[in-house]
Amino acid sequence: MKKITLFFIVFFICFTTFSQGGGGDIPESWDLNLEVLPAVVSLPPLNFEAIIHQDSINDLDKSMPWRYGIERTVDLDMQSGGLWTDLPNGGKIWQATIQSPEALNLSVNFDDFFLPAGSRLQLFNNDRTDITSTFTSKQNREERQLGTWFVEGDIIWIEYYQPPRTQVSPRLHLTSVIHGYRMGRINAIFNAQRGFETSGDCNYDVNCPIGDDFDQKKNLLKKAVALLNLGNGHLCSAALINNALNNKTPYLLTANHCLENSNPALWNVRFNWVSPTPVCGTGEDSGDLQTNFTMSGATLKAKNSLSDFALVELFEPIPESWDVAFAGWDNSDVNPLFEVGIHHPNGDIMKICRDDSGAEKIDANGTKVWLIGGGAHGTGNGWEVGTTESGSSGSPLFNEQGKIIGQLYAGQSACVGLENNHDYDIYGRFGVSWNSGNSPETRLMDWLDPANTGITHIETLQNLLNVPNFQLIGELKIYPNPASTIITVMNNRYPHLSYVFSNVMGQRIHSGSLSNTMNTIPVDNLSEGVYFLHLTDEDSQDSITKKILIKR
């Protein structure tokens, strides 16, 4: 993954705004050069021989979440561990440092979490190149539980800052650390374990064309799909889903089997992880996009093994500035003409698959599913475009109208080199999930049609609507201006933002993508004077030009 250097982050002290949590400050200690540091809590090395053997078997089973990490028990709180430092201004810092040797990334789970108003919590890696969003009192829950997204490296720092005159005491107790061992970069120790771009070579990035009859729908629907971190070292896929009130309640649809041994209060979701340079079944590596569209925590609303569905509600509303979507659905259970899946296989960047044969209804050992026919099952020949893999579990299946009709349950579809193996996949049927069981906890209708209108289908709802033009709002910042060596563009709104940097004569100097959360444009070799930064939202084609002054 692309890293954020300390030099770049120093520029963000007054300006950075992360998507999750509140505040965008860098950790308080980074400006203080503290002399006394907390002792590192070092966990024993893991034995990967058995782990790799288990993965070689489990990775073939889509009815299981994909494992990227090992959950390791810790027992660390603010009273008996870490280090408190009193600051001259009356504030305080508490720090703890945990090492899990050879981890590619680390995240933590709190089973007791409470932050006073005005305080903040941040997690970062040892070389200060990766940092989570900032947690504040907005993340306080009745359950007092919280899981975090991961940071790269085998050492993670946990830092709590308490401003002066804070009267309420914080509570933080770490119960586990997730040792990520095959997501984030290639693991050089175990050659069989790949990191980013770990999915099969026949996969198509979601931005690849899959037909004029669906490409326009796809460009909206991909904004509803999320990578789901289950807080226990496993991953699934999910979709933000609309309801009949069109009120943006943050419901997330995934598979019932993703609930196994996981607690939704510890879940994390990541939206808009889409490659800016798509690869379409050629086996090359997709370009990465380092976004911070992540949210923590959810509560279970309904589930049922009959159609293998689970519906959760995120603890926090979707920020108004996020360019995401709430997917529409069809509960009529009518056979589709063709169907499309959008998913995150093996925790990879978003992919897409298409079947032109039309799914059929079957009973899979008691589970009511759609069958994407292939191999010895059904009448089709598998996916015509792409495939699904472990980690795609829970991902949405869309009919030809772009409406959700199911979520991935299991299957044998896979890549054989650059080709699909033409085997089958099965998805739990949305129409069965709609009114299955005899209580709101076993069906979808009570949550997605709370007024009991009897509606059978609903359109996708965009989170960003009626925006008159492209504007520089709080989630898109350009600084410093004047600049001397580098320009930073902080982008928490536009997942497909491009730029052209030119001089007053209109001559192009730099151009490219600004789709990452943090982007930089070098200007150290340019003469002093006036320049222009032209920004374009590739989704809407809206654009704006900003005057930049270079001065030294």
The string of pLDDT tens digits covering residues 467-503 is: 444 555 445 778 788 888 888 887 767 777 889 999 9
| Same domain for 11 and 111 | yes
Report CA-CA distances (Å) from 44 to 100, 106, 419: 7, 15, 41
SS3 content of the chain, % helix, strand, coil (to 5): 10, 40, 50
If you average pLDDT over residues 36-44, what whole number do you get?
A: 96
Q: Residue 510: CA atoms inside 13 Å, Cβ hemisphere, count?
A: 19
* Domain identity same for 129 and 243: no
Q: pLDDT value at position 282?
A: 87
Question: What is residue 514's predicted lDDT score, i.e. its pLDDT?
Answer: 86
* Percent of the chain whose predicted confidence (pLDDT) is above 90: 69
Domain C-terminal end among 148, 180, 212: 180
358 & 492 share domain: no
Taking 50 as the threshold, does the pLDDT of residue 207 lie above it?
yes
Residue 241 banded pLDDT, cuts 50, 70, 90: very high
Q: Report if residue 185 sits inside a domain.
A: no
In 188-297, beta strands by DSSP E: 204-205, 225-229, 234-241, 251-255, 268-271, 294-296
Question: What mean pLDDT is predicted for residues 170-190?
Answer: 75
Is-contact 62 390, C-beta < 8 A? Answer: yes
Question: Residue 109, SS3?
Answer: strand
Does the pLDDT value for residue 3 go beyond 70? no
Q: What mean pLDDT is reported for the chain?
A: 88
Q: Is residue 56 part of a domain?
A: yes
Domain contains 439: yes
Tokens linked to 178: 């997730």
Is residue 469 situated within a structural domain? no
Q: Note the pLDDT of residue 271.
A: 92
DSSP β-ladder status, 396-399 and 542-550: unpaired
Based on the fold, state whether residues 488 and 401 are members of the same structural domain.
no
Q: How far apart are the C-alpha atoms of 305 and 247, rounded to whole Å?
A: 28
- Left (φ > 0), alpha (ψ -120 to 50) or beta: where does 199 sit? beta
Residues 232, 374, single domain; the answer is yes
Q: Which residue range is the domain that position 525 belongs to?
A: 476-550
Do 245 and 386 lie in one domain? The reply is yes
Examine residue 140 and state whether it is found in any structural domain, yes or no: yes
The larger pLDDT score, comparing residue 283 to residue 527, is at 527
pLDDT band at 465 (very low <50, low <70, confident <90, very high): low
Average pLDDT over residues 60-89: 95
What token pair was written down for 326?
């709430």
Percentage above 70 pLDDT, the chain: 89
- Give how far Cα 547 sits from Cα of 151, 487, 491, 519, 537, Å: 35, 12, 18, 17, 18
Shared domain check, 167 and 232: no
Q: Which of 170-184, 280-294, 399-413, 430-444 has the lowest mean pLDDT?
A: 280-294
What per-residue confidence (pLDDT) applies to 198?
A: 65
**Is residue 26 included in any domain, yes or no?**
yes
**189 pLDDT above the threshold of 50:** no
Q: Of 462, 493, 512, which closes a domain? A: 462
CATH classification of the domain holding 22: 2.60.120.290
CA dist list (Å): 260 to 230, 235, 255, 425: 10, 12, 10, 21
- Please tell me the predicted confidence (pLDDT) of residue 467: 44
**Contacts for 427 with CB less than 8 Å, ≥ 6 apart:** 341, 359, 369, 370, 372, 397, 405, 406, 407, 408, 409
Shared domain check, 241 and 114: no
Q: What span, in angstroms and rounded, lies between the C-alpha atoms of 92 and 473?
A: 33
Q: Which residue has the higher pLDDT, 507 or 224?
A: 224
Residue 242 lies in a domain: yes
Lowest-confidence pick of 93-102, 135-144, 322-331, 536-545: 536-545
408 plus 444 within the same structural domain? yes
Same domain, 379 and 236: yes
Chain length of the chain: 552
- What residues does 419 pair with on adjacent strands? 416
Whose structure tokens read 């709190």? 110
CA separation, residue 135 to residues 27, 138, 228, 294, 431 (Å): 11, 7, 19, 12, 38
| pLDDT interval class at 292 (50, 70, 90) | low
Q: Are residues 406 and 300 in the same domain?
A: yes
pLDDT tens digits, one per residue of 78-129 = 998 999 999 999 999 999 999 999 999 999 999 999 999 999 999 999 988 7
The structural domain count of the chain equals: 3
Same domain, 133 and 71: yes
Q: Note the pLDDT tens digit of each residue in 358-397.
A: 999 999 999 999 999 999 999 899 999 999 999 999 999 9
Per the model's pLDDT, the better-predicted residue between 338 and 189 turns out to be 338
> 265 and 147 in contact (C-beta within 8 Å)?
yes
**Residue 371 maps to a domain:** yes
Domain boundary among 462, 496, 521: 462
Q: What's the count of helices (H) and strands (E) in the chain, helices before strands?
A: 5, 39
